[in-house]
Amino acid sequence: MTNRIGYVPGTFDMFHVGHLNILRRARERCDYLIVGVGTDELVESRKGRRPIVPFLERMEIVGNVRYVDDVVPQVNMNKVEAWNNLKFDVVFVGDDWKGSPSWLEIEERFAEIGVDIVYLSYTRHISSTVLRQRVFHE
């Protein structure tokens, strides 16, 4: 029997209990969990601003969570490329992405290569955006 390898991509800025919940629930559904942490450049290109916590610090924080077996840089949004490099069996993503055009396309591509997608409910009361708004009153 082979181990089921899981992958969770994310920014993980201002690490909070919602991040911990996603990682814990993902690890409960696989034998080995790899987390891709978005680089500062990737996050800035997608969100129009740099993360509060620098990339190397976010990597260190996530890498020290007991549910995480390996942490890797996420340098782009191409999940098939990530699969080519990491050979995971299942990818975990927050359910707020379910039904989005980008994830519908990823679902089709992963169905062709036998990768499962599991949408996990995210912790509704907290997010990095909520924290940013509380701290900076944006």
CATH of the domain at 54: 3.40.50.620
122 pLDDT band, cuts 50/70/90, is: confident
In three-state secondary structure terms, 136 is helix
Residue closest to 80 by CA, chosen among 100, 108, 43? 108
What global pTM score does this model have? 0.88
How many domains is the chain partitioned into structurally?
Answer: 1
Residue closest to 132 by CA, chosen among 45, 53, 35? 53
Domain that holds residue 29: 5-136
Rounded distance between C-alpha atoms, residue 121 and residue 106, angstroms: 19
Inform me whether the pLDDT recorded for 125 exceeds 90: no
Inform me whether the pLDDT recorded for 117 exceeds 80: yes
Residue range 77-108, pLDDT digits in tens: 999 999 999 999 999 998 888 999 999 999 99
